[in-house]
Every structure is written in structure tokens, then in C-alpha cells.
Structure 1
């Protein structure tokens, strides 16, 4: 038995989530080990899922946007920015599997603190006093051959299945909750027509069960003759599995292969070919994955082989079975495997699409309700510990095969809630397993079946993985468990890396203002997807945001806003004056509802003294901090005309006012400065 040199962070599973975690940890200087049980990295992103399941790039985390940027640069560089290929890549969100693999390999190879080991099977996990301390892996050949124990400060489970979490004794669930368990409107047994009507059919009882949504393989096929490999008839072919399609064709429910398989283009004349939402017999194989998750190595391989042979048989049937119309078969025969993809696995993708694995029980359970509008809000529920954003419709594939109850229109368990799902935050708590310390689980997260139905997209998993890697580093730096780190410090790290922790339609997420609005939004400052960053902030809003900032780490010393709208500079004689005869403070603020630049400038000077521990600090010194806009003036008596305005066309009082974005940026920048000072003091002890 071998013991390997010490690693600070060990990630098991080179899915996009695992890769995101490993890169985040390695970029922070942590000696990181990424283990993958198969010969291949990238999970579904390199195994046929070439059309990213995300509605728009701006709603994805930074690590996925980095990947997409490299995809776009490849096609633009190879074919030209105005080429059909560059357009077909859809800003880098659509790609050929081989390119995705090459890019992810490059991203991993660039990290000098990262070691990647393939074909490393996890055998056991040791938990001592509630903390995961080491794992045992086995590699059958090549470097690292044999069995060895590996220890680490933090472990991260990047597998689709949640294998490391399960071996560590983390409690988990498999199957579907009922409507009653988490008050999810569409949970449990459901027959829904996937067409635009979304009609719910009789038999939709909402009862929970142990069924798992269907798995399949995402094919990369082509109709380009010179790059096409013909489909072969599998040895395990069973025609009866597909015979109902002949009836569908005769009765007009399907007219071509495109009504059976969802064939969508990616660059290179290739496709991402998936199960078809409206076909009752497509590439999914419901009811035949129930033994996969807790199965042995041999049982899992049997399930993979079964899915592969089923899909190969479906293709053969569509191309050759004489019960189908001749035109149908001829159109099907145009398609074959892409000859330059998956060349070492007979042009068939190696990764089974495990749409849903184990779901750990964690500090927070993400449900259908977390991805829908919160009652009374113009947005989804707010999570103060948000570490990522999701933007894909809640959906699920079928859990039962074709049956009479579906009325040739629905497979039980197949659903899509696109009209109800909104952009949502994902809280850190979903990756913190109950009962086990030293482990983060960013893929097999704590969610219901319905909640996982939207989180389970590769870009979402990739950014959750990135958050897990950053959290692992922070735990080591702060000598804490992942459960014990400062969520605000983690959010600072993620925002600095351009990760999204919130989404606002009217806000540019880049720059200090955009990050500040995301941060304060996570703490409850905004109740819709409009933060109105360019609007003048009222003194009421400013006071509320300041009160919120004082509750957050680094904000306790922030002084209150000056109670008076104008304060004469020291040395200027205030008298003669009769203050009691002047308008009351309430009346004054009613007449002057906006936060003036001079008013904010005076507060900034006091904030500088607070951050300096009460010592005098010059305005010039504080104004040099990036949080302080250079137009803030300390002279409240200066006229509006003397003050440069960032708002351009605004006039009068509004032109001399601070905007929502500017005030948020100022407060967040000062919070960052205060936290930096606190960290420096702690480091000096």
C-alpha cells in the first residue's frame, strides 16, 4: 500500500464541476490533485453535449465564460470572425466535443499547482471524529499503479453520482419528493404534455417515489458524407423496443428522424443529438437506471452498455426497419457518427448522461420554490450566502416508459417549467453536507428532484465547482472548516474573479458598482431584477443601505449619515442663527429627498476616520481609495455647478446627487478596505 505526498485539496471527479473546483484551488496556490475514475475529463461537456444548457452567456459564472471565450477565439481564429463557424459557436456556447476536450485539457495543464490523474477509482473514505481525513484509490496501470491512501485538508466531490460523499457517510436521497414534502407545485408523479400547452393529464397525483429521471447518451452525428461513419446494428438489437414508432409514423405523430431525435447543429457540420421532447420513444431509456447509483463497477458498466446498445439499436431501426416509410428511412440514412469525434470509443461518446445522481442532505435544500418568483417579490428568493447564479428552466426527463396514461402525448415525469423559472441564486449551503466536515459537494448538491432539475446544467455545476475550490482555499487560509468560513469573504473572492452571485437586468456586472449591487442584493437590498443603478439614491435608501452595511463584516465602524443636510466648514462662523425657527429635520428631508454629493462626501470623511480607528485622516487620502469617486466633495456649501456630475443629462438637485450604483460601490469598497485592514491586523499577530 502506498501513501502519496501530501495534497492540500483533493478533487474527485473531473466533470465540469470538478474541473472548476480544481482550477479555482490551484489558481490560489493550493497543491491540488484532480482524480478522474475514467480515462476522460470534462464529463458531458466533452462527451456530446455541445450546445450549452444556459439561456445566455451573461448569466454564467466566470470560469464558464473563460471556457466559452476560448471556444469563440478558436473558431474566429481558425475560420475568421465573420465565418459561419464563428457564428455557429454562439459566442462560444456551442462547440465540437473534441474542441471542448482540448480546451479543458489546456486549462488544466496551465495550472502549475495542479496534478491530474485519470483512471483512479475510489475504494473507500475514512472519517475520523466527523471529518473526512483520507481516501483510498486504485489505479490498474501506468503511473500511480496500485492502491494508495491520500490525505488532504479539504476534499471536493465533483462526481455526477456523489460517490465520494456516499462513501464518506454523507446522508443522501435518490428519487422524487411528493408535493407535500417541500410544497413544490409540480413535484412527484406528473403527466405533462411538453408542448406549449403544458397540459397536465389525469393521473398526476404528485406522490413521491424512488424513480430517477432517464439517462441517455448525447450523440455527435453528421450528414457530411466525407466525415460520416455508418451506424452498425448492435448485437443486442431488440426490434420490439422501437416498434411503436412505426405506429406513430402511420398515425402522423412522427414524419422523420428529426421527430424522434432532437438534432441540433454545432460547428463543424456536426450536431448535439439528444432525446426529443415530443417523441414517446427516443434516445432516453426510462426505468433502466435504478440500479446504477448504488451498483458495483460491473453493474454500472452493464447499465452503460444497455443504454449504448439501446441507442445504437434505435438508430438502426430508424434507418433500416421496413415498417417505416421509405422516405423516412432514406432521410435517416443521411446521418452517421462524426468520424473525427470519439475516435478511441468507436465514435460513440464515452460518458453516460447521468442527469441526476445522489442528492446530498446539506445545510440548505434547494427546491422548486427557489427558482420561481418569491411571493410578493419581483424576483426569486434572496440568499445571503449566494455563491452562483442559475438560469435554466426547471425540467426533468421521463421516469416511466410509454404507457396508456400518457395518451401518446406525455411520458410520466417529463416536464418543463420554462414559463415559471426565473434567474436564481444558489446558496453556499447546498454544497455543505450534513454530518461530515472537510468535504464540499458542488455537483450532487443538496436539492430536491425539482430543484436539481435546473441546477443540473454544466455551466451551473462549473461555477458551483469554482466556488467550492475558492471556499476550500479560504478554509485552509483561515484555519477553519468549509462550514466555518466567512461567507462574505468567499463572496468577495468570487466577485473579484467575476463570478456572479446575483443578477440584475439593468446592471453591468463588471466593475465595482456591479459587484457591489450583487453583494448588497444578496443581503436583501433589492427585491426585483432592477437595481436602478443610475437613479439618484434617496436619503432613505442611502440610510437603509448604510444600516445594512453596518450589519455586515467590516461595517460595524461605519458612522451614521450626517443628520443635517448642510454643515459649515470648521472656522466658518455659524452665527447669528435661530435653529429652532428653521424647518424641522423631517420637513427638510422631505424637501430634499436625494443624497447630495457634498452630503455623501462629508460622510466619507467620517468613514475614513472610523476605518483609521478614530484617528484623523485626510480627505485626500481616503479619496484615493478606489471606492471613493473622485467627484465626491467635502465642501457641502459648494454649488452644484462646481461639482462634476457623472450623470450627464441630469439637472438641478438630481445632478448633484449620488446614484444608487455609486453609493453601493462606495459602501462595498469601504467594506472591502475594512476587511483588508482586519485581515492585515490578524496576520500581524
Structure 2
């Protein structure tokens, strides 16, 4: 009996000794972000700013992903949509280099920077948040769902660590966390019969976009020879016709640029050059998404070898011998970026799937996903498939024209998995749409939205799918993030918030246009407000509201009376707190001068009246499909029944 008790006590002691180190190496956080890329970095910063205890676990030593670690430090798109954390990051680049002109060094972008500078800026932004912890060189080992959220095992510099978190955000480059969590996803091209996209192929396939192992070269000065060692099995033929050197455009099948001008494409500050050239350059086809770690590493090593061959070609065939691999950019032994640039990854099956139809014609779909927008973009649909061996299987999607757009919140939320948010390129979009949502500013804004959603879910004790759409959007707007892609009403306009909110209700709609490389959706704030446009906008949110106007162009008096009448219709038990005197003061604050009742009212002015008097954005919730939750009324109101009249 004594032996038995001794054995039992010894066992308890041993178990306690085992548990001691585990408990000291266990951490609890509100939000865990796995992957500190463009999305993950911004998700962490936003989540922490909103009060959630947040941890970013990043596999490498830098934040930023494609922005920094992959070397794609030329920002594509959103130059006229300076939204949220993207705008903040851009301003810090301006401050560091000396203004907008100092980063407009190449012709592919208005914003180019050294990757190491971008990484330092992101690190400083993250370090400024006391509720944000960074864990670099940390890999995911396992994760398990539990009643309170997730139990996650990671392996980092301090060994294995168990993390208990309420919400996970997948910020990885290829959606590896979502896959480990068992979330269904798609890889490759979708069938047009599945998505309803006419430009999609008839049959789906597993073809993904080319990836690129980018390089950053530095000008070491005239007369310097920085030619690298000839790569093993070097073959120059894949690079013929990369610029106007060996062949003409008919032979190349592409527009060819002068070779010197080509090199200016990705010119960075301080005489550095981003090598990420799509025309017979260093794009490389391989589908690594479903590969295991060893197979993936070997495939990416081949992509790096291909870029090394391209560098050797530039130096020996085109004469750029003074351009060598930058020795002061990346913390790697060979001077190459830390990771490859992946243009495509898994795409989860989310609460909604954003198609090119939703993007190109947002106001004419059965759903109204634009009403749930959380991240804006304006880059064309740009697919890289030039290195795929069989071009007959690939539809031509190069710069397919679309307007600027807003991405729906439901694309970040898995269909059936709670307390999980997906960011970066693994959101619920079609293969075609990924050609524009993959761009750096959009991914940064996706991250900001993901961090907002996660923090609100933690605060309210609900799963992300149950956080009201309008709450997420309101927080984003408060932080200067666009939810509607109206480039003709920038954030500096005093009525910007009014236009954003009324635009998201659909009462006043913009017009999408593709103008060359410029994709816009215009609100036309200074145009007159027409009765037809207002009548069309009210039919969903207030279907029983009988709006009549004797004239097609509304006056300020009619606009005020209509707003008060609509407020009474939509909120019959709530007395509007705003008076005519208040409206007159608003007119003065906006710089519109004295109110003149019989002057035509502009669209911007009507947006202000609707937002301030009716408040439809906050009073009528929408679901993740963009459909109104409020039961529609069958009452009929005429503007003559206005609660107040402007005199």
C-alpha cells in the first residue's frame, strides 16, 4: 500500500513537473494572426488599435509579405483611393523619402520603395501598438477548434508554444492555415457555368497564375562589372524578346519596350531596380499550392534559379553589367528576397463569393454585395499566364477592363467555420476576380477590415459572421477607410463620410468606368440631383415611399422636404434631431454658402441631407448578401406630408 501511494505521489509530481514548462509556455490572446504579410500586418495593427490583445505569428523575420519579403515594392493601384492603413503606410513612405515625387521613380507605379524601408516602416507601425505582439520566425504546427475559439501550437525561437485565441486570421501567402483548419477551398480556374462569368473557361482546371522570384538590383556605378556567375544549365532563349533587342513586336506577340526604358519600369529610390518583368522576363509557372514543404521548397528554388538566369541575361546579353544584386536589401545570404511572389493561392468557400459580375456591374445583381463593402480597389484584372506551357487552355485575361470596386465583407468569412477570418489572396473570390484583389493596397485594406471584424467579434462575444455589417463599415469609415470606391470624392472632402454611407445604402449610386489603365467609379458630387435617380435608389430601402416630383431636377427645398418626409416614413417613432437652422449651418460648414431654396440641389448636398436627417446607413441593417434586414413597409408617403418644410 505504501508503495502504491509513493508511486501515485511520484506520478503527480512528475505530471506537475511536465505541466510547469507547458503552462509557462502557453499564451492567451484575443486575436491570432498567422502570417504577417500585407494583410496580416494591417490586421494586427487594426485589431490592436481597437483594443484586442493581438499576436502576429510570422514565419520569416519581416512584416509585409509581398510588399517587402517578396520584393514587390512597386504599389499597383489605389493611387486615387488613399484609403485607411494603405494611405497611412504611403504617407510614411512620403515622409521617409521626401514627398510623393521622391517615390514616383519608375513608370509601373506612383509609389516605389526599397523593401527594407517598407519592412522597417511596418515594424515601427506595429511596435507603436501596445496590444500587438510580434513573433517572427514562427511556424504553425497544429490548430484545434474548441468552445472558446482555437488552440494553436506554434514553433518559434523559444521552442514550442501553445496559444489559446478567440479568433484566428489566416494571413498566409497560400491559405495554408485555412487548409489545415479543414475549410473548403478552390484552386485554379473556375468554370463559367459555376460562377456565371462569361469570360471564364467552359471547364474549370487547376491552372494558377505564374509566380515570380523577384530580385532587386543596384547600380554599382559606371564601369563596374557585377556580372553574376553563369547559372548552371543557363539557356537564354526564354528571354529573347524581353525588350526591343533581338526581335520585333510581330515576332514577340507583345508590345516591346526599349531595353533601357524597360529597366526603368521598376526603378526604386537610391538607384535600385525591382526585377519583376512580365514580358519574357522572370515570371515562372509552377503550382505549389498543394505541395508539401520539401516539394514546395524545391519548386521555389527552381523559380529563383530562373530569375538568376534572367539577371545573367540582362547583364551579358543586354549589357547591364553595372547592375548587380543589391547587397544591402534583404537579410539573405544570396541577396534574393525572403520569399517568392505568389499571385494566387487557395480561395476559400465563403459566406459569399465575389464574381466579376458583382465587380463589373454591382448595381444590377440579385444580391447587392456593394452594400457590404470593406476594401476598395481600382486595378484592372491582371492575370500572368505567359509561362504556362499550353496557352490554348488559358483565356486571355490581361488587363480585362473593370470599374473601381468594393470587396464584400462576406468574402472574408468561411461558410461553415466559426471564429475564423481569411485575408490576403485566399478570400472568397473567383479566379478571375483574384486578378485584381491580389494587388498590394487591396490586400492591405482586406487586412484592416479583417482586424476590425476580429476585434468587434471579440468585444461582442460573437463569431465574426454575427457582427453587423454596418458596425464594421462604421469603424472603417471612422479610420478613413473607403467602403465605396468613389475616387471623385476624396477623404479630405467634408462630405466624404456622407457620400460613403449613402453610397453604401444604394440610395445614390455612382457610375463605373474603364478609361485606359484607369478604372473608376464616379459619384459626380457636383452634378444636379435628378428625381429619377433618387426614385430608383429608394425602391429597395423604402419600397412603399411614394416619391413624387413635378420637375426632374430637384431644388434644395425639395431635397430638404423629401429627406424629412423619408425620415418620418422610415423612422415613424423617432423625431429627427436636426432642424432647418442646423441644415443652414451645415451648408456654411461645407462651404456651400447661404441656402437658396429654389436653386438646384447637387448629389453631394442630397447625400448630406439623407445621411444627416434620415440616417439610413445606421438605421437599416443589411445582411452579408447586401439585402436589407428590415421588414419593408407598405405605407405610402408623399413629399407634401413632410414633417417640416424649408421656408
Number of equivalent positions: 576
> For the aligned residues, what is the CA RMSD?
4.0
Matched, 1:487 2:482: no
Question: Structure 1 residue 305: deviation in Å?
Answer: 1.7
Question: Structure 1 residue 138: deviation in Å?
Answer: 1.1
Aligned equivalent of 1:429: 410
Aligned equivalent of 2:341: 353
- Distance 1:422-1:596 versus aligned 2 partners, 3 A rule: closer
Matched, 1:508 2:490: yes
Distance in 2 between the 1:446 and 1:600 partners? 41
Aligned equivalent of 1:172: 185
Q: TM-score, normalised by structure 1?
A: 0.74
Distance in 1 between the 2:589 and 2:293 partners? 69
Question: Structure 1 residue 537: deviation in Å?
Answer: 4.2
> Pick from 302, 307, 312: which aligns with 2:303?
307
Question: Structure 1 residue 351: deviation in Å?
Answer: 1.6
- Distance 1:243-1:112 versus aligned 2 partners, 3 A rule: same
> Pick from 52, 56, 73: which aligns with 2:75?
52
> Pick from 150, 159, 169: which aligns with 1:146?
159
Q: TM-score, normalised by structure 2?
A: 0.78
Aligned equivalent of 1:158: 171
Tell me, yes or no, if the aligned pair for 2:369 and 2:408 is still in contact at 8 Å.
Answer: no
1:412-561 equivalent positions in 2, closer than 5 A: 412=394, 415-418=397-400, 420-443=401-424, 444-510=426-492, 513-525=495-507, 526-528=509-511, 529-535=521-527, 537=529
CA deviation string 1:402-435 (max 9, x = no partner)? 56x68xxxx95664134x2211111011111122
Aligned equivalent of 1:630: 585
Question: Structure 1 residue 466: deviation in Å?
Answer: 0.3
SS at match of 2:182: coil
Distance in 1 between the 2:198 and 2:211 partners? 24
Tell me, yes or no, if the aligned pair for 1:12 and 1:159 is still in contact at 8 Å.
Answer: yes
1:567-578 equivalent positions in 2, closer than 5 A: none
Tell me, yes or no, if the aligned pair for 1:35 and 1:117 is still in contact at 8 Å.
Answer: yes
- Distance 1:186-1:365 versus aligned 2 partners, 3 A rule: same
1:375-390 equivalent positions in 2, closer than 5 A: 383-390=370-377
Unaligned runs of 5+ in 1: 189-205, 321-327, 552-558, 564-585, 633-642, 676-685
- Distance 1:506-1:175 versus aligned 2 partners, 3 A rule: closer
Aligned equivalent of 1:100: 118
SS at match of 1:225: coil
Matched, 1:239 2:234: yes
CA deviation string 1:226-247 (max 9, x = no partner)? 8988343366x1124x335469
Distance in 2 between the 1:490 and 1:657 partners? 29
Aligned equivalent of 2:282: 283
Aligned equivalent of 1:222: 218
- Distance 1:387-1:654 versus aligned 2 partners, 3 A rule: same
Unaligned runs of 5+ in 2: 1-21, 512-520, 622-647
> Pick from 32, 36, 41: which aligns with 1:10?
32
Distance in 1 between the 2:586 and 2:347 partners? 51
Distance in 2 between the 1:156 and 1:85 partners? 35
Tell me, yes or no, if the aligned pair for 2:199 and 2:395 is still in contact at 8 Å.
Answer: no
Aligned equivalent of 1:196: none
- Distance 1:336-1:660 versus aligned 2 partners, 3 A rule: same
SS at match of 1:395: coil
SS at match of 1:210: coil
Aligned equivalent of 1:396: 383
Aligned equivalent of 2:356: 368
Aligned equivalent of 2:199: 186
SS at match of 2:266: strand
Distance in 2 between the 1:602 and 1:314 partners? 65
> Pick from 139, 154, 171: which aligns with 1:121?
139
Aligned equivalent of 1:274: 276
Tell me, yes or no, if the aligned pair for 1:14 and 1:35 is still in contact at 8 Å.
Answer: yes
- Distance 1:223-1:549 versus aligned 2 partners, 3 A rule: same
Distance in 2 between the 1:484 and 1:455 partners? 24
Tell me, yes or no, if the aligned pair for 1:623 and 1:630 is still in contact at 8 Å.
Answer: yes
Larger of the two Rg values belongs to structure = 1
Question: Structure 1 residue 549: deviation in Å?
Answer: 6.2
